[in-house]
Amino acid sequence: MPVHEQVYRQLRDRILFGGFLPGKAVTLRGLAEDLSVSAMPVREAVRRLIAENALELHGNRRVSIPDVTEGKIVEIWSARRLLEVELATMSLEYLTDEDIQVLGDIDSEIDVALETGDVEGYMRGNYRFHFSLYSKSRSEILIKLVRNLWVQFGPFMRLVYGRSGTANLEDQHKQALEAMKSRDAEALKHAMEEDIAQGMGFIRESLIAAK
């Protein structure tokens, strides 16, 4: 894998899972030093992430997570509901019993993270669950759009869970797994909608409380 692609993926993971927190800017030079690479692949990766609305560049060669408003979160919420429910439904046609078992194993890891208060572990497990499911849909375009949405709201979800912990989270994946096992598309749609609503609702409530 080319160095610039490795750097892009590393930075993207940091954005998704807490390495970049909203309100804190970092320098391109600092990123290069931290990743032990030259400035060129960092600049290339940052350009891609800016194009995806995951980062914004400031005049002093610093980058940060773009601010979000309640309206933007509601819009992302609506887009997730449309795209991710569709992806889950498309995936249902191709899921094997082995695929469902793998998803169940991921969810068991999520349960451990919830019980121990491991916010980053929960975030990573949640991401793996969703995209392991969506990868079965055979839809490259919709998955790319959804990845772009996750990188925009991920830092704020990490911030909210970092403050409130995982005690108030309910594992909506159990209902989704039962729907997959019974091949019930309507039940799967409902479970995915509830799962999305929980996460995005927490972010929206946090923004309202901060006003």
Fold for 70-210, please state it: Four Helix Bundle (Hemerythrin (Met), subunit A) (1.20.120)
DSSP classification of residue 66: P
19 secondary structure, DSSP code: S
Residue 210 in tokens: 């901060």
For range 139-147, the mean pLDDT: 96
In the predicted model, what is the mean pLDDT of residues 80-100? 97
The predicted model gives 25-41 an average pLDDT of 92
The pLDDT, as a whole number, for residue 44 is: 94
167-191 mean pLDDT:
91
Stretch (H or E) spanning 4: helix 3-17
Q: Where are the domains of the chain?
A: 3-64, 70-210
φ, ψ of residue 93 in degrees (nearest 5): -65, -30
d(CA 73, CA 200): 7
Q: Is 91 in a helix, a strand, or coil?
A: helix
How many CB atoms lie under 10 A from the CB of residue 153?
Answer: 19
- The strand order across the sheet containing 56-57 reads 26-27, 62-64, 56-57
Q: Is residue 58 within 8 Å of residue 159, measured between CB atoms? A: no
Quick check: pTM over 0.75?
Answer: yes
pLDDT at residue 134, as a whole number = 98
Task: Over range 148-177, report the average pLDDT.
Answer: 84
| 164/157 Cα distance (integer angstroms) | 11
Confidence of residue 165 (pLDDT cuts 50, 70, 90): low
Please classify residue 17 by burial: count the beta carbons closer than 10 Å to its beta carbon, then call 0-12 exposed, 13-18 middle and 19+ buried.
buried
* Residue 20, pLDDT above cutoff 90: no
Token digits for 125? 């497990």
Question: How far is CA 47 from each of CA 13, 41, 166, 185, rounded to the nearest angstrom?
Answer: 16, 10, 33, 39
Q: What is the pLDDT of residue 211?
A: 66
Q: Determine the CATH number of domain 3-64.
A: 1.10.10.10
pLDDT at 30 exceeding the cut of 80: yes
Lowest mean pLDDT among 6-15, 136-145, 198-207: 198-207
What is the pLDDT averaged over residues 59-82?
Answer: 93
Task: Say whether pLDDT at 33 is over 90.
Answer: yes
Is the confidence at residue 7, as pLDDT, over 70?
yes
183: left (phi over 0), alpha (psi -120 to 50) or beta: left
How far apart are alpha carbons 188 and 176 in whole angstroms?
A: 5
pLDDT band with cut points at 50, 70 and 90 for residue 65: very high
Confidence grade of residue 107 (pLDDT, cut at 50, 70, 90): very high
Report the mean per-residue pLDDT for the chain: 92
